[in-house]
Chain A
Amino acid sequence: MNPRLLPYLLILPVTLFLGVFFIYPFVLVSQQAFSTGGGFTLDNFRDVVSYWKFPISFKNTMLLAAIVVPLQLVLSLLMATMVSKMEKGRDLVLYVWTIPLGISDLAAGIIWLAIFEQSGFLNSMMSGLGLIDQPVNFLSYQNPLIIFVAIALAEIWRATAIMLVILVAGIGLIPKEYYEAAEVFGASPWKRFTKITLPMLRPSLQTALVLRVVLAFEVFAVVAALGGTLFPVLMGEIYSYQFDLMNNNAAAALALIVLAISIFFTLIILRVLRVPKGATI
């Protein structure tokens, strides 16, 4: 076989797969979003945006992303630095930390529901310690803050590992020589972190953040398990348009709005964390 054709042949299955299962459905969804049976229209967008829950679910989604992602970034940087400094048991710790990654997000939501529920572990523990007389209902509409905290905790628990894995790989790529040189010049560990690790980690940070931020806008199952309808998010609204109202067009329009938000933030992250031209590791 012609060796020049080989790479194309090898990426052909993936290209076909993406074409059939991503590009084609995407085109269909876009068509749905801009039509109501007749010709081109923006009615679907007007409908979903003017619905009274849209601002609330938009705010909730953004707020959740704004709180969860930075926390996860700090945590995963901390964890990645710790792991990379470990001599022994590094693999074991990594495996344990990435366990939540292997659990589906709905299962993760249910695990945290088992903790926060009225008959859940937290209540049993508190009543066992004599802190409360009877079970408290944490996840009620009266405590929106606790619902928010529970969802944020579950999200942090579940999805920090995805950033961790990328950052650990990134840290492994930074040549040791830089650190040795810095130590020779007497740079403190903090200096080494801010002047070497962080800048050299840019490409990995970029990937990790893009992935995580996009996932944060798609948060659904954890919210559904813990908050039900009490904490509306954009994805939940898409689900309800599609399956409760059977309104494919509105669901498609809202999905495109989420896509636009994702693209917008992806571009910002790519821009802010870009590696200057000519600079290489």
Chain B
Amino acid sequence: MNLQSNLVGAVAGVVVLCSAAAAQADVMFWSTQARPIEEAQAMRDTVLSGYEGTVDYQPNEDGPWLTRLQAELQAESGSIGVLGALHGNFSAMSADDLVSLDDLGVSAASDTFNELARLGTDKLLYVPWMQASYIMAANKKALEFLPEGADIDALSYDQLIAWAANVHEATGSPKFGFPAGPKGLKHRFFQGYLYPSYTNGVVRTFASDEAVTAWEKFAELWEHTNPASTNFSFLQEQLLSGDAWIVFDHTSRLAQAFNERPDDFVAFPAPAGPTGRGFMPVLAGVAIPKTAPDMEESKALIQYLLKPETQLETLRATSFFPVVEVELPDDLPPAVTAAGDAVAKMSASADANPGLLPAGLGDKGGDFNRVFVDTFERIILARQDIRQVLDDQKGRLAAIMEETGAPCWAPDAPSEGACPVE
């Protein structure tokens, strides 16, 4: 019968296609990092081209990334060989789904990072891959408006506000840029910068009186912030277009500005508050899901990624810094030099107050971030009373901490058991 033979033909075709895909020996590198087209291409052309095998580098948004991964884990059969993602992505996963990497013999130079990569277990579940941070950047046109006596490498929040106000007055429009867009990393500013600088904590001090002051200061800064900031997610665009002159963002989200017009912009450390100069690292790692089709091949790729030469190529491709000891050459892209200097000054400053990435939150990392984003939306955008909002949001934060049992991380003082919201 004709219909039948057609059906058979179609099924046969599908089977042939599937088996052809399975027969390819590429390691699939499924990543949430290096997503922009140029970065992804650089990953393929320069970073991964030196690997002896062939790598299929596939960057994706967090959502689709996790959906496919979960589908493969549930099906207990997969094609993803290596995962590349942020610490937060991994900590949201179940530890059983990742293969222990202790026997690889590679790890980061920083013990803190290696500890984070255990995700609270006694096994290395991902290998730290690359790191970055958040810094400030400014258009050189803004420099003449720096308040008197202010040193751009040692600004305080008050000086930053005064500076933004001067620029606002001089140009007639607010020129501070803040990544408050839907994909912006605003929550990291509150968790790693504003709170540590004003309250010397994040969780314990969430609703303290110092926190009220911090939000008041931020509201002052917001007066001089481009109101379109609620659409800004990559501040390099606004630096280049001139919509913002002074900005805060992730180093790799500022890179394009420095690489395109290195002479027009300066990078500098985040400001300091009463309790020091709070700042926070960004940590990406590589891991192997338990469903990887070829374990040995995946492990070899991770070892390759951690080689000093590969780490340098990764730095050029993504503006993310190496996690292993490596001598930085002189011919790095302008963005890397600028960001590297700013981060170095930030860490070396006398009042440095480095924070850690939230740890132990498991799959509640998103909820934790949402507490800060909601607080921002209510206090700054909806102009609700600060004390009332903090007291209200405090309940949600406490519930998350109790549910996950996550102990405090720096700069909060260590806790026995779940980190309390005081």
B213 shortest CB reach to chain A, Å: 24
> Does more than half of chain A's interface fall in helix, strand or loop, or is it mixed?
loop
Closest to A236 in B: B182
Among B182, B231, B378: residue with most chain A CB under 10 A:
B231
A-B contact count (CB 8 A): 50
Residues of chain B contacted by A142 (CB below 8 angstroms): 227
Interface of B is mostly: helix
User: In whole Å, how far is B417's beta carbon from the nearest beta carbon of chain A?
Assistant: 22
Establish whether residues A243 and B63, one from each chain, have CB atoms under 8 Å apart when the complex forms: yes
Across the interface, A139 reaches (CB within 8 A) one of B92, B231, B366, namely B231
CB distance from A158 to the nearest CB of B (A): 20
B366 touches A137 (CB 8 A): no
B370 at the interface (CB under 8 A from A): yes
How far, in Å, is A211 (CB) from chain B's closest CB? 27
CA distance A53 to B172 in the complex (A): 34
Chain A residue at minimum C-beta to C-beta distance from B92: A246
| Chain A min CB distance to B75 (Å) | 14
Q: A141-B227, A229-B230 are in contact. Are A224 and B374 (CB under 8 A)?
A: no
Q: What 0/1 readout, one digit per residue, does chain A (26-40) give for beta carbons within 8 Å of chain B?
A: 000000000000000
Known: A224-B182, A228-B182, A229-B182. Contact between A245 and B231, CB under 8 A? no
Contacting residues of chain A (219-253) with chain B, CB-CB under 8 angstroms: 224, 228-230, 242-247
Given known contacts A224-B182, A244-B366, A246-B66, is B374 in contact with A52 (CB within 8 Å)? yes
Instruction: Name the B residues within 8 Å of A52 (CB-CB).
Output: 374, 378
- Contact of B370 with A228 in the complex, beta carbons under 8 Å: no
Does B260 sit within 8 A of A, measured CB to CB? no
Is A98 in contact with chain B by the CB < 8 A criterion?
no
CB nearest to B65 among chain A residues: A243
Q: Is the CB of B173 within 8 A of A134?
A: yes
Contacts of B230 in A (CB 8 A): 140-141, 228-230
Q: Check A141/B381 contact, CB under 8 A, given A224-B182, A228-B231, A243-B62.
A: yes
Residues on B with C-beta less than 8 A from A242 are: 63
Q: Nearest Cβ distance between residue A47 and chain B, in whole angstroms? A: 10
Report the minimum CB–CB distance from B361 to chain A (whole Å): 11
**CB within 8 A of A247: which of B62, B366, B378?**
B366
Query: Is B181 an interface residue when CB atoms closer than 8 A count as contact?
Result: yes
Chain A residues whose C-beta falls within 8 Å of the C-beta of B367 in the assembled complex: 245, 247
B175 CB to closest chain A CB (Å) equals: 12
Pick from A118, A141, A245: contact of B243, CB below 8 A. A118
Q: How far is the CA of A246 from the CA of B366 in the complex (A)?
A: 7
Known A-B contacts A244-B366, A246-B66, A246-B92; the reply to A140 vs B228 at CB < 8 A is yes
Could you tell me which B residues sit within 8 Å of A by CB distance? Answer: 61-63, 66, 92, 172-173, 181-182, 226-228, 230-231, 241, 243, 363, 366-367, 369-370, 374, 377-378, 381
List 6 A-B pairs, Cβ < 8 Å.
A52-B374, A140-B228, A228-B231, A243-B62, A246-B92, A247-B367
- Seen from chain A, the residues whose Cβ lies within 8 Å of a Cβ on chain B are 52-53, 118-119, 134, 137, 139-142, 224, 228-230, 242-247
Complex A-B, nearest 4 residue pairs according to Cβ-Cβ distance, in ascending order: A243-B63, A245-B366, A140-B227, A137-B228
